[in-house]
Chains A and B, each alone.
Chain A
């Protein structure tokens, strides 16, 4: 933790960056860590890093009010590093726009100043679904369709349409989301079955081939809908059919806006 604070002090004192986005102490047991925006070397005391620091801080890179504060150093978990690469691939961040401070479970800090170094760092990580994630996903895939339908209907029935999943997602950055379009009204506004289903289908589809499985949507959901299952299912689909993984390279085509002439079409009559 001290390594991280010292690095932050050094970066701010030398004016290499204007701000360090990191984790600080949260407000209690329910929220042990929260994002902090450190703009003076003296404030670096409040930086922490431990197992409770799970949020994907790359979400703030796309917020205009954060962007205007200048170049940032970002305390980056593996998911955040992949998010940065995905954002770069979507032309949302440029090289030298930011500095990533890659942190691992041991508290080691690796400063990564360029997208190329981030790529090299990410290439060494295991980006597959973990064994536990695979088992859980498989449990739902193995259900019969009617059971799956019931499961999701019960889950979506709790949805409040608060769009916290969207707010927490670093890749849901459109300044105007389809859900706010009302000419025509694509998604019914009230939090009822049809609109809840349509919203969640749309969110998942718009993230297909882009989501890096950081899990922040599910952590942000106030009613605990397991949105990560939808994301993981679609990223498995994209990997199996197109051999594509998001967030691995700073220059990459988006899985859903490119194609191969021999993509599978066994379902097309």
Chain B
């Protein structure tokens, strides 16, 4: 298990977290390379099905991040997203899926350092949890 390197997919909004992650890079801050960033117009656009697809396609962990409430590019998408995640986490937990594999965060365009910490902390968490093979195996059971 010690040489396990997690695959993390980050679903981020264009306006805050994506810009924040950009800032991390332009500041030459180092953070875990295990993350694949997918840019969305808004956190409100991130359907829960996309998260399931990431797991089915081999992700061991997921980061969902966007603008802080009240510091928001549009006016309410992240508030809607927050409601959705509250319910979705409850459902995942009830289905016995470890909710620690999905990390939610607000990272603004000025928080390059927070992004680096977030990715590192998530990578460390997933490293401890190990590969999400229980879920990945489900895919093998189907005919694609």
Contact = CB atoms under 8 A, between A and B. Distances in A.
Interface of A: 140-141, 145-152, 178, 186, 188, 190, 192-195, 197-198, 201-202, 204-205, 208-209, 229-230, 233-234, 237-238, 241-242, 255-261, 263-265, 267-269
Given A149-B97, A264-B86, A265-B82, A201 B52 contact: yes
Interface in B77-101: 79-80, 82-91, 93-99
A89 to B, nearest CB: 17
Given A256-B87, A269-B104, A194 B141 contact: yes
**Interface majority SS on A: helix, strand, loop or mixed?**
helix
Contacts of A194: 56, 138-139, 141-142
B82 A263 contact: yes
Interface in B11-46: none
A186 B52 CA distance: 10
A152 B86 contact: no
B91 to A, nearest CB: 6
A167 to B, nearest CB: 21
B84 to A, nearest CB: 6
B86 to A, nearest CB: 5
Given A147-B96, A261-B70, A197 B86 contact: no
A205 B90 contact: no
Given A148-B95, A178-B49, A261-B69, A193 B79 contact: no
B76 interface: yes
B104 A205 contact: no
A209 B80 CA distance: 13
Contact of B80 (A152, A190, A242, A259): A259
B95 A152 contact: yes
Interface string B57-72: 0000000000001100
Contacts of B98: 145
A193 B141 contact: yes
B88 to A, nearest CB: 6
A205 B87 contact: yes
Given A178-B49, A237-B86, A268-B106, A259 B91 contact: no
Given A233-B90, A265-B82, A149 B95 contact: yes
